[in-house]
């Protein structure tokens, strides 16, 4: 099984950016752990700070990569206003699970609503980096 993890803006700074919210681990550390925990799952990783690049990646996975069986996406701040990413998710047949490291409902009011989540199969928030593992467990169980 192949799953792609897509991280959005500012998530390239994990381990450096606001460690009191996002922790002190880099995503590369988490990715190594995920690959060790799920050796039978091929994990592709993509990160971009650009909305269009994220949309292009979703389209490529949905239409050009037949071996991909699902997407785990952390759209970052785009979750709160990117109807374009929501439309891209809706346009593909692959199941998508949205992940947020922090509990978006316990933060600034503008973060309480995700416009991308309704296009996804499920959403996890507030589990820290463990949310990525839980999303992969979901795919492995289905």
Own/partner pairs, 56-62, CB within 8 angstroms, 24+ separation: 57/4, 57/6, 58/6, 58/85, 58/88, 58/89, 58/91, 58/92, 59/88, 59/91, 59/92, 61/4, 61/92, 61/94, 62/91, 62/92, 62/93, 62/94
- Cα(22)–Cα(16) distance, rounded to whole angstroms? 9
78 counts as catalytic:
no
Catalytic residue among 63, 81, 83, 100: 100
Residue with tokens 């995700």: 114
100 counts as catalytic:
yes
The DSSP output letter for 1 is -
Query: Could you list the active site residues?
Result: 22, 100
């Amino acid at each position: 099984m192949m799953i792609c993890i897509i991280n959005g803006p500012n998530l390239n700074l994990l381990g450096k950016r606001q460690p009191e919210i996002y922790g002190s681990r880099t995503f590369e550390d988490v990715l190594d752990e995920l690959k060790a925990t799920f050796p039978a799952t091929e994990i592709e990783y993509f990160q971009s700070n650009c909305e269009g690049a994220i949309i292009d990646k979703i389209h490529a996975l949905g239409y050009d990569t037949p071996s991909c069986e699902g997407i785990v996406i952390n759209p970052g701040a785009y979750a709160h206003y990117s109807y374009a990413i929501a439309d891209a998710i809706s346009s593909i047949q692959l199941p998508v699970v949205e992940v947020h490291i922090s509990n978006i409902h316990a933060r600034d009011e503008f973060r309480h609503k995700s416009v991308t989540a309704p296009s996804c199969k499920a959403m996890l928030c507030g589990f820290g980096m463990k949310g990525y593992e839980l999303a992969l467990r979901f795919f492995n169980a289905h």
